[in-house]
Structure 1
Amino acid sequence: MLKSWSLPGLLLLITLPAWAQAPVRANEPQGRFLRPTVRVGEVIDYELTLQHAPSLEVVFPDSTATFKPFEFVGKTYQPTRTRQGRSLDRAIYHLRTFALDSVQQLSLPVTILRGEDTLTVATSPAAVRLLRTAPLVSPNEPPVLQQDTTLQPVASDFNYPYLLAVVDVVALIAAGLGLGFGRRLRKRYQRYKMRKNHVYFLAQYARHVERFTLSRSLTNMERAITLWKNYLTGLEDNGINSLTTKEIVALYQNDPDVNRALRVADKVIYANQLVEDEEETDLAFTLLRNFAERRYQLTVDSYQLPVTS
C-alpha cells in the first residue's frame, strides 16, 4: 500500500503535522488577545509573555510603542517569576480600537539585552474579530432616519470673553468721562465740601452766640471768634487764625465790618470790658457772620460754581 505513494506525496505527509503544530522556539515572545471579539471603542486586553534565561534582561514595550490599529489605554505588569531555571515576564496591555476592519491584528516587539548587544524580537500577529453593532445596510437602500426633536438639557458656560469685552467698554467710557468731565466733577465735589463746611460753621457759630447771649460768658465769645477765624483759614487758606486783629483788618483791606466787630470783641475778651449796650456785641457777631457769608460767596464764584442753599 505504501508503494503506491509517490515520493513528493510521502514528503508532504511527513512534514504536514510538524507545520501545523508550529512549535515555539526559546526566547520567542508570545502575544494574544484575551477575548476573540471586540466592539468599536471597547477596551480589550492583550497579553504579552516571554520565557527566557534568568541572566537575560528583557524590555517590554511602553505607552510610546506603536499599537496600530489599536490605541493604548493602560497596562498592568506582573513581577518576573523564575522556576526551575526559567524566568517568565508577563504584561497585560489595555487597548481599544476605532478601526472598522472585520479582523484586526497586532504584533509587539520585545527587546532582549545581551551585554552590549540588543536583540528585538516581535510576536506573531494576534488577531481579534470586530463585532458590528449597526445592522448592515444595502448600498441601494439608504437607512431609515428616526426623527427626534426633543431638546436635551445643556449646561450653560459663562461667557468670559463677553465679560472682558463689557469690562473694556466700561473702562473706556469711564476714562472718557474722567477726561471730559473730570474738571467739572472735581468742582462739584469742591462745592459739596465747601457747602458742608459752611453749613457746619453757621450752626456752630450760632450755638456759641446763643450761649454768650444767655450767659454773657467771655469764654463763649472767645470760642465764637476762634471758630470764625478757623473757618476763614480753611475757606481761603490764609492763616488768619494766627494773625492779630490789626493784621486781619489789613489783610481784608480795612473792611469796616471786620474792623468794628473785632475791636468790640477785643474789648470784651482781652480788656474784660462788657459793653453796656448788648446790641453792640450782638451786632459784632452779626457783622462777622455776614462777612463769612460774603467770603464764602466770593470763594464759590472763583470756582465758577453755582451756590446752592
Structure 2
Amino acid sequence: MQERRGKYLISIIVLLSSINLGAQEITVKGGFVEDSLLIGQDVNYWVSASYPPDLEMVFPDSLYSFAPFEFSSKIYYPTQVKEGLAFDSTVYTIQSFEIDKVQYLNLPVAILKGNDSTIINTPIDSIYLTELAPMVTDTTKLKTNLDYQLVDTQFNYPLMYYIIGGLIILTIIILLAFGKKILRWLKLKKLHNEYAQYADIFATYIRKLKTDPEPSTAERALFLWKKYHERLEKIPFTILTTKEILDYEFTSELKNPLQNVDRMVYGRKVNEFVFQDFQQLEEFSQHRYNEAYNKIKQNQTDTIPKTKDEETEIAATKITQFGLTLDQLNEELRHGGKFVIYYYTISIIVFSFRRSSKVKFISNDENGVIKGLPYTLITFFLGWWGIPWGFIYTPHSLYVNLKGGKDVTAEILKENSN
C-alpha cells in the first residue's frame, strides 16, 4: 500500500514540475517523496530540471555519494520538450542507516555547454526518522524477570554428521593401512578361543572315560570332536560316517581310534582303554589347529580338502586314454593344454555332497569354462538347498569351474611317470 502511495506522489511531483516550463530558463528542483523513514527502509528522492534544449543536463548516477543515505536504485524518465524547454526528471530509491532524528539531502545537477559546466544543487530537503523504541535514559529502570523459561531442546545434527563422517573416514584409513593385519588378528583370536573352549571340555570327557568308560560319555565326546572339526575343516563331520570321514586325505591316521570309538558308541561294547583313542583324537585336533593357525599367520588361502574319490580318479587316469601320443601331449602342454577336474555339489536339505568329475584334457584351443558348464549348471541349480554346507560347497565349486577347472596336470604327469 505504501509503495502505491509513493508512486502516486512521484507522478504528481513530475506533473507539477512540468507546469509552466516557460516561466524561467533553467530550473532545478528536488526533495523527498515521503516525510519520514525507518532505518533501512526504502525512501524516494526526486530531482527535476527544465532547461533550454541546446544544453546538456547530467543527473547524479549510482557512483555518486548520497551520504548519509545509501543508493539502491533509480527511475529515469525520458526527456520531454514543451514550449521551447526540455524537461528531465529522475527518482532515486535510497536507504538510511543513521539514527539522527532529522536527516538532510540535496543533489547536484551539472549543466554542460561546450567545455564549460555549471553545477546547480537542488534545495536541501529533510526527512524525519521514526523511532520504534524510546531512547534509554539514565533514569530508565530495567524490569527483571528471573522466572525459568522452558526452551525446546534441539539436537545438533550438523555436528553429529561431522563426527560420523570423520569416524567413517578414519575407519577407512585404518582399514586401508592395517585392514589385513586386523583381519588376520581377529581370525587367529577366534581360532584360538574356539580351540581352547573345545580342548577344555574334551579333556574333561577324557578324564571321565578314564575312570568310568560309559558309552554315553563316549558318544557325547565323539559328537563334540565332530562338531569342532566341522567348523575347523568346513566339512559336515556330524552327518558323516567313519568311512566317509576316512575318505579325506588328512584323516587316514584316525582309522583305528575312530573304529574303536564306533564299537563302543554303536555296539555298546565297553572298552576301558577307549580314553587312549580319544587322546589320539585330541592330538589330531591339536595338529589340525596348529596347521590352520599357521596358514592364517602366513596368509595362505583357506581351501576345502580334496576327497579320496578325487585322488582315486587322478591315480586311475592314463594319458593314453585321451588319444594323444607323447609328442602330441608335450606340444599341447607347451601351448597351454592342461588336465583338469570339475566340482559339482548336490544338496538335499541337511545333506550336501561335493564330488569331482573325471579328469578332462583341455587343449590349447578349447575353453575350460564351457567344457565344465554341465557341472556348473548342476551346482548352480542343485547345490544351494542344503543347510549349512550347501552354502559352503556351492560357491567353492562354482569358483573352481568358472576358473576353467582345477588344474591337476602336475599330479597326472607324476602318476603316469611311475
Q: What TM-score do the two structures reach when normalised by structure 2?
A: 0.39
Distance in 2, matches of 1:196 and 1:58, equals 102
Where 1:29 maps in the other structure, the secondary structure is strand
Secondary structure, aligned partner of 2:173: helix
CA–CA separation in structure 2 for the residues paired with 1:154 and 1:83: 70
Paired residues, what number? Answer: 209
Q: Secondary structure at the match of 2:132?
A: coil
Q: 1:233 to 1:101 in 2, by over 3 A?
A: closer
Q: 2:343 aligns with which of 193, 201, 205?
A: 201
Aligned pair partner of 2:359 in 210, 219, 225: 225
Distance, in Å, in 2 between the alignment partners of 1:197 and 1:87 is 109
Paired position in structure 1 for 2:78: 79
Asked whether the equivalents of residues 110 and 118 of structure 2 are also in contact (C-alpha less than 8 Å), the reply is yes
Aligned residue number for residue 44 of structure 2: 45
- In structure 2, distance between residues paired with 1:97 and 1:225: 96
How far does residue 89 in structure 1 lie from its aligned partner after superposition? 1.0
Helix, strand or coil at the partner of 2:111 = strand
**Could you tell me whether the CA contact under 8 Å between 2:45 and 2:93 is conserved in 1?**
yes
Partner of 2:253: none
The one-letter code matched in structure 2 to 1:225 is V
Are residues 137 and 98 of structure 1, via their aligned partners in 2, closer, same or farther at CA, if it must alter by over 3 Å? same
Indicate the residue corresponding to 1:178 in structure 2: 176
Instruction: Quickly say closer, same or farther: Cα 1:41–1:114, change in 2 above 3 A.
Output: same
Match of 1:88 in 2: 87
Instruction: Give the distance between the partners of 2:112 and 2:142, measured in 1 at CA.
Output: 56
CA-CA distance at 1:109 after TM superposition: 2.0
The residue type paired with residue 415 of structure 2 is V
Q: What CA RMSD, in Å, does the superposition of the two structures yield over aligned residues?
A: 4.7
Give yes or no for contact 1:240–1:248 (8 Å, CA) kept in 2: no
Distance verdict in 2 for CA 1:137–1:56, change over 3 Å:
same
Superposed, 1:276-287 pairs within 5 Å as none
Q: Describe how 1:60-139 pairs up with structure 2 within 5 A.
A: 60-135=59-134, 138-139=137-138
Once the 2 structures are TM-superposed, how far is the Cα of residue 86 of structure 1 from its aligned partner? 0.9
Quote how far apart the aligned CAs of 1:90 are. 0.7
Return closer, same or farther for 1:185/1:135 CA change in 2, 3 Å cut-off: closer
Q: Is the 8 A contact 2:344 2:355 kept in 1?
A: no
**1:55 positional shift:** 2.5
Q: Which amino acid aligns with 1:65?
A: Y
Structure 2 residues without counterparts, runs of 5 or longer: 1-22, 185-294, 308-341, 347-352, 362-367, 373-396
CA deviation after TM superposition for structure 1 residue 147, in Å: 8.3
Unaligned runs of 5+ in 1: 1-23, 210-222, 255-309
Aligned residue in 1 for 2:317: none
Mapped partners of 1:43, 1:142: distance in 2: 34
Alpha carbons of structure 1 residues 146 and 81: separation in structure 2 relative to 1, 3 Å: farther
The CA distance in 1 between the partners of 2:305 and 2:150, in whole Å, is 62
Which string of whole-angstrom CA distances, capped at 9 and with x for unpartnered residues, describes residues 51-72 of structure 1?
A: 1222323222222221122222
Counterpart CA distance in 2 for 1:155 and 1:25 is: 70
Q: Which has the higher contact order (CA 8 A, sep 6+)?
A: 1
Query: Residue type of the partner of 1:55?
Result: D
Contact 1:78 1:90 in 2 (8 A): yes
Question: Paired residue for 1:17?
Answer: none
Equivalent residue letter for 1:201: Y
Q: Is the 8 A contact 1:137 1:143 kept in 2?
A: no
Quote the residue 1:249 is aligned against: 415
* SS of alignment partner, residue 132 of structure 1: coil
Normalising by the residue count of structure 1, what TM-score does the alignment of the two structures yield?
Answer: 0.51
TM-aligned CA deviation for residue 93 of structure 1: 1.1
> Which amino acid in 2 is paired with 1:180?
F
CA distance in 2, matches of 1:238, 1:178: 32
